[in-house]
Amino acid sequence: MSRPHEPRPHVPTPAARETFADDREIDAFVETLGRFERGELDADAWRAYRVVRGAYSQRQDGLHMLRIKLPQGATSAAQLRALADVAARFSRGYGHVTTRQNFQVHFVRPADLEPALRRLAEDGITTSGAGGNAVRNVVACPHAGVSPGEVFDVTPYAEATTRHFLRHPLGNALPRKFKIAFEGCEEDHVATAIHDLGFRARVRAEGGREVRGFSVTVAGGTSSLCTSGTPLVEFLPASDVLALAEAVVRVFHARGDRVNKQRNRLKFLVRELGFEPFRALVEAELATVRAEGVPALPFDPDAAPEEAPPQGRAAAPGVAELAARVAAEVLRGPGEPPAVVPARDAAPAALAAFRATNVRAQRQPGFSAVTVSLPQGDVTAAQLEVLADLALAYGDGAVRFGSDGKVVLRWAETAALPALVARLAAAGLARDGARSAADVVACPGADVCRLAVTRTRSLAGLVEERVRERLGPAALAAALPVHVSGCPNGCSQHHLAAIGLQGSARKLGGKAVPQYFVLVGGGAADGGASFGRLAGKVPARRVPEVVEKLTALYLAERREGEAAGPFFARSLEGVKAAVAPLEALRLEDAAPEDFVEPGASDDFRPETQAGECAA
């Protein structure tokens, strides 16, 4: 529930935050890479070392994906420029915003890892804990601090948790990855229930005063054995956040399975022990942590610093200048670069459509938060530079990366929205229909990922195109999350979508046909996570038609106020009936394009490689 907000100390903007980087770590990374190249370190040891620092092998030999950690998604203008510089100099001129508020660049050569890490460190960015068996990026609601419906701003608590586990003795030495999320809104924007630890803001009255705290869930997760986190604490005083997180991490470190990599997430440990024995272990460890003295929060737990309106703004670049800058950028391969369409003279109707679906009022009167929806989560270096300029000219000098491949620009004066949206359009960033069926969230897929079965990005683009062309404004105005992953691991969080698409393959006449499992009814709410149920297995080229049919079904038959996930969950049989005609494919009816993935030219030959996530 919402609470009146009394004045609080002003929280530092991301531009003023203490650095997350440490040059000594980069020195050690370079020294370890040298040992590997000289044959003094074997491939397994090098892999384990680099993965926990965000450097993953791609399916292309000798090239890396670099995952860049952005705590709480909060990213200053200077940091946006650092990301742009790394994407332009060491990758393909663009990168990808992930569902965990990270930023990824691909096709990075080993020789470019050091200069990329040093460039990021210049502006306070680290990759430590971005991958591997570590406490991963701590995510927080991208609307924290400005949402009209939040209980309180969770950002300071998430920030303190990030810093507690950054370079923690156990932080990079766990049996498997460990994920933490904070949410303060009634709507769960970061799906706390699928995390190893999920914190939801709560308040209660004690002795005539309001006390802050969190309800806490534990041992959630997707991929294999999708699990909604189990309630661990109904009301945890905010002062105990670090102590409880420390206790749970210690139990996982001591008891987690270090042998069976496919069964060593916390959810498996809880299932093996039973919840009550697990809870007893946590409570015993919590007593030990308290006796030792866990670091206190660096602020009053019941009066954490809050954001204040920005003071002073930079001059905004002109529309023509922004359009020219973005149009002049040359993106490189391999792979299919994002399409960038600058609009120097955006039509008033287009700007109005964007405002209707991508702008929401803040709880601070006169200010708005603007959602920049990136096609498949991809953004170019030039566009990152534009976002930096616009954050300084119209926002608070920073943005928040969301958990759905989007960027939220906050503290825009409502009166200045027409000018801001026109400039976003000039940079190809005014894509309307945020969170609709046309706004597909996609993982990078088999273009780069070793685990992916299918290429996802082209398919996502075709889904968007069909929904926009066939269903129009009604579909763009309806919240209907569609997420597509190239494999069961679900980096797009497709298990949690109203419509989730999971890449796979079937055999037909001795040849492989790309197909997708269609899952429906997923979502996250205050009561926990619901996971999509299988509605069919559809050849890839028919997936856009499936999404069109299901979107039309939702628009026609939903109850008043009914969200898409619950609608599909109660309509599973009707959904199966709608999907069934598109499932069947006989050899005599197959067309040549059935054997080719969207966006490809050659016959589909699924090939997966050993993943490195659990290195």
Please give the pLDDT value at position 525. Answer: 87
Please tell me whether the peptide bond between 598 and the residue prior to it is cis, using omega within 30 degrees of 0.
Answer: no
What DSSP character marks residue 338?
P
The CA dihedral of 77, 397, 2, 357, to the nearest 10 degrees, is -70
Provide the pairing of β-strand 398-401 with 406-413. Answer: antiparallel
Q: Indicate the range of 96-110, 293-307, 370-384, 565-579 predicted with least confidence.
A: 293-307
Residues 6+ apart with CB under 8 A from 107: 58, 60, 63, 64, 91, 92, 334, 335, 448
- CA dist 386 and 379 (Å) reads 11
Q: How far from each other are the two terminal CA atoms of the chain, in whole angstroms?
A: 42
The SS3 assignment for 386 reads: helix
Please give the pLDDT value at position 278. Answer: 98
The token duo for 492 is 């797009």
User: Which tens digits make up the pLDDT trace of 13-27?
Assistant: 555 789 999 999 999
CA proximity to 482, closest of 495, 491, 473: 495
Please give the pLDDT value at position 292. Answer: 95
Please give the pLDDT value at position 9. Answer: 46
Query: Is a pLDDT exceeding 80 seen at residue 121?
Result: yes
Please give the pLDDT value at position 224. Answer: 82
> In the chain, what are the domains?
13-131 (3.90.480.20), 133-292 (3.30.413.10), 316-325+341-433 (3.90.480.20), 441-595 (3.30.413.10)
Q: What is the mean pLDDT of the chain?
A: 94
Residues 6+ apart with CB under 8 A from 348: none
Residues 6+ apart with CB under 8 A from 260: none
Please give the pLDDT value at position 98. Answer: 96
Q: Which string of DSSP letters, residue by residue, matches 508-524?
A: ETTEEEEEEEEEE--EE
User: Which tens digits make up the pLDDT trace of 331-365?
Assistant: 988 888 999 999 988 899 999 999 999 999 999 99
Mean pLDDT in residue range 496-525: 96
Please give the pLDDT value at position 311. Answer: 86
**pLDDT band, very low/low/confident/very high, at 223 (cuts 50, 70, 90):** confident
Write the CA distances from 339 to 320, 438, 476, integer angstroms: 19, 15, 20
Query: Is a pLDDT exceeding 70 seen at residue 485?
Result: yes
- CA dist 379 and 373 (Å) reads 10
116 φ/ψ angles, rounded to the nearest 5 degrees: -65, -45
Query: Is a pLDDT exceeding 80 seen at residue 544?
Result: yes
- Contact assessment for residue 52 and residue 129, using Cβ atoms and an 8 Å cutoff: yes
| Helix, strand, coil fractions of the chain, as percent rounded to 5 | 40, 20, 40
Mean pLDDT in residue range 205-211: 92
User: Which tens digits make up the pLDDT trace of 127-168?
Assistant: 999 999 999 999 999 999 999 999 999 999 999 999 999 999
- CA dist 99 and 440 (Å) reads 12
What DSSP character marks residue 346?
-
Residues 6+ apart with CB under 8 A from 337: 92, 93, 94, 331, 380
User: Which tens digits make up the pLDDT trace of 38-64?
Assistant: 999 999 999 999 999 999 999 998 999
**pLDDT band, very low/low/confident/very high, at 614 (cuts 50, 70, 90):** low
Query: Is a pLDDT exceeding 60 seen at residue 398?
Result: yes
Provide the pairing of β-strand 482-485 with 499-508. Answer: parallel
The token duo for 339 is 């399409």
CA proximity to 15, closest of 314, 299, 303, 302: 314
User: Which tens digits make up the pLDDT trace of 233-244?
Assistant: 999 999 999 999
The SS3 assignment for 181 reads: strand
CA proximity to 606, closest of 491, 514, 520: 514
Please give the pLDDT value at position 4. Answer: 38
Mean pLDDT in residue range 277-295: 95
- CA dist 604 and 595 (Å) reads 6
Query: Is a pLDDT exceeding 90 seen at residue 615?
Result: no
- CA dist 307 and 17 (Å) reads 13
Mean pLDDT in residue range 93-110: 97
Please give the pLDDT value at position 14. Answer: 58
- Contact assessment for residue 152 and residue 201, using Cβ atoms and an 8 Å cutoff: yes
**pLDDT band, very low/low/confident/very high, at 566 (cuts 50, 70, 90):** very high
Please give the pLDDT value at position 13. Answer: 54
